[in-house]
Amino acid sequence: MTILSKAALAAALLIGTTGVILPATADAQKKKDEKAPKAPALSAEFRKAALEAQTQLKAKNVTAAEPAVIASEAAAKSEDEIYYARLFRLQLESDRLEQAAKGDAAVYRRLEIALIKPLDDLIADAKTDPKDRSRFTYRRGLIEYGQKRYAAAVTFFEKARELGEADPELPLSLTKAKIESGDIVGGAAGMKVAIDAELAAGRKPIESWYDYIIPRLAKADKFDEYLVWSQAKLKQYPTAKNWRTLIVYFGFSGKRVDLLDKGQKIDLFRLMRANNALADLADFAQYAQYLNSIGLPVEAKAVFDEGVKSGKMQLTREDDKGIYAASVAAIKLDGPISARETKAKAAATGVAAAAAGDSYLGESNYAKAVELYKIALEKGVTPVKVEEINTRLGIAYALMRDDANARAAFAKVKSSPRNQIAAFWIVWLDLGATTPTA
C-alpha cells in the first residue's frame, strides 16, 4: 500500500482544516467595525443550516455534516448562499475522501473523482476568489492526471497558470502531463520556461524538475537535447553523483549499451574518473576490464589502485584479481612507452603513434599524449580513427587544463556518438573543469 504523507493529506484539504467560516451578520459586522465592507446577505433559513454544517465540518464529523450540508444547499437562494453551500460541499467531499483513503494514495486517486463536480461548480462561480479559482483549477488538473486523462490535465494546468497559480509543483505537473500525452519536446520546453523564470528571479530551480525531463529525453533518444539539459542541471547541481547518473543514462543504459563501443565507453569512464564519479566495484572493474582488453594495462592497473585506495572497492573477486595480474604482466611485457614512441615516429602511418598516445594518456602523461596524437593525425589514420584521436586529444588537453586547445580539438569531432561524448567533456570545461567531491 502506498501511504499518503501528512503533507499530501494536508494538500488534499481543499478548504482548510478549520472548515468554511461564515461571515458575521450585517449588524454584528457593523458593530465590530463601521468601516468594514458590507457582509454578504444570508437569510436566517440558510444561516441556520450553514452554521450547523460549519460546526460539523470543523469537527471533521462527516456523518453529521452531510445532512447539514444538504440542508444548506436546499436553503441557498442568493448568489452568496449558493457560493457558501458549494464551499461546504467541497469540504465535505474532501473530508469524506480523506477518511475513506486512510492514507492509501491508490485509494485516494481512485475515489477523488467525487471532487470533480464541486470543484467545477466553484471554478465557474463568479463569487469564487481568484486565488481559490486558480487553486481549484490546478486541483482539477491533478485529478485528470490521476485518471490518466493527460490532455485534459494539460488544459487545466495551463489555465491554472494563466490564472496565476503559484504552486511550486505546477511546472512539473504540466510537464508530466505533456510528456505523458506524448509531447516530450513540448513538456521539456515548458519546463525550461519555468526554470528560466526561477533563474531570472534569482532562485535555484528545483532539482526534481531536471530529474523528470532528463531520463525521458534519454529514453526517447533525443541526446542533443539531453546534453543541453545535463549541462543545465550540472550548473546548478554539480555533484559527483549527478555526473555519474547523467553519464550512465547517456552511455550505459537502454539502447546505448549496444550503440557505444569499448573505446567510446572508456572515454566516458574517463570523464567519470575526472569527476570523482566512479561509485563502486562495478564501475572500477568494468572500466579496468575494457582498458585491459584493448591494450591499456597501465591505465587499467591505475584504475584498480585508485578504487582500492578510495575505499570504493576491494580487490577480492577472482575475476578482478585476474585482470589486475594480467595488467601487471602486460606492463612488464610491453616495456616503457618511450621505446614504442620511437618506432611510432618512424612508422609510415599514424596507427602506432595513436596507440602510444593512448598509453601516455593512460599513465597521465598528457603532454606526451598530445604530442603523439598530433603525430598520428599528421601521418594519417582512417576517418573513424581521426574522430577517436581528436576526442582523446581534447581529453588530454582538458586534463592538462588547457581549455582553449581542448575545445578546439573537441570541435573537430563531428560524427555521432563521439561528437556527443566530446560535448559532454565540453560541459565539464564549461563548469570550470572542477572535480566534485560528493
The verdict on residue 174 lying in a domain is no
What whole-number distance in Å separates Cα of residue 269 and Cα of residue 277? 9
Residues 6+ apart with CB under 8 A from 349: 379, 380, 381
What whole-number distance in Å separates Cα of residue 351 and Cα of residue 65? 84
What whole-number distance in Å separates Cα of residue 362 and Cα of residue 56? 75
Which CA distances in Å does 207 have to 5, 198, 203, 230, 235?
A: 20, 12, 12, 12, 11
Nearest residue to 90 (alpha-carbon basis) of 39, 40, 124: 124
Residue 115 is classified by DSSP as G
Tally of domains in the chain = 2
Residues 6+ apart with CB under 8 A from 240: 275, 276, 277, 436, 437, 438
Q: What is the pLDDT of residue 41?
A: 80
Cell triple for 181: 500525452
Nearest residue to 20 (alpha-carbon basis) of 50, 47, 64, 62: 50
Q: What is the pLDDT of residue 108?
A: 87
The verdict on residue 138 lying in a domain is no
Residues in the chain with pLDDT < 70?
1-39, 437-438
Per-residue pLDDT of 249-296, as tens digits, reads: 999 987 778 889 999 999 999 999 999 999 999 999 999 999 999 999
Residue 103 is classified by DSSP as T
| Gyration radius from the chain CA atoms | 32
Residue 104 is classified by DSSP as B
Chain centroid, CA 90 distance in Å: 34
Cell triple for 312: 570504493
In residues, how long is the chain? 438
Per-residue pLDDT of 375-391, as tens digits, reads: 999 999 999 999 999 99
Q: Let me know the angle formed at the C-alpha of 153 by 151 and 154, rounded to the nearest 5 degrees.
A: 65
Last residue of some domain: 128, 157, 178? 128
What whole-number distance in Å separates Cα of residue 410 and Cα of residue 388? 10
Last residue of some domain: 69, 100, 128? 128
Give phi and psi for 329, each to the nearest 5.
Answer: -65, -40
Q: What is the pLDDT of residue 105?
A: 85
The verdict on residue 250 lying in a domain is no
CA-based torsion, 67, 71, 72, 73: positive or negative: positive
The verdict on residue 166 lying in a domain is no
Cell triple for 125: 462561480
Last residue of some domain: 87, 108, 128? 128
Q: Which helix (H) or strand (E) holds 433?
A: none
Cell triple for 262: 569499448
The verdict on residue 170 lying in a domain is no
Is residue 3 helix, strand or coil? strand
Is residue 123 helix, strand or coil? helix
The verdict on residue 311 lying in a domain is yes
Taking the C-alpha atoms of 40, 44, 49 and 51 in order, what is their torsion angle to the nearest 10 degrees?
A: 60
Mean confidence (pLDDT) of the chain: 89
Per-residue pLDDT of 98-134, as tens digits, reads: 999 988 888 988 899 999 999 999 999 999 999 999 9
Percent of the chain beyond pLDDT 70?
90
Q: What is the pLDDT of residue 18?
A: 35
What whole-number distance in Å separates Cα of residue 222 and Cα of residue 364? 34
The verdict on residue 427 lying in a domain is no
The parent domain of residue 61 ranges over: 6-128
Using a 10 angstrom Cβ sphere, with 0-12 exposed, 13-18 middle and 19 or more buried, the burial of residue 256 is buried
The verdict on residue 297 lying in a domain is yes
Q: Is residue 296 a contact partner of residue 359, using CB atoms and an 8 Å limit?
A: yes
Nearest residue to 73 (alpha-carbon basis) of 88, 62, 63: 88
Residue 364 is classified by DSSP as T
What whole-number distance in Å separates Cα of residue 142 and Cα of residue 136? 10
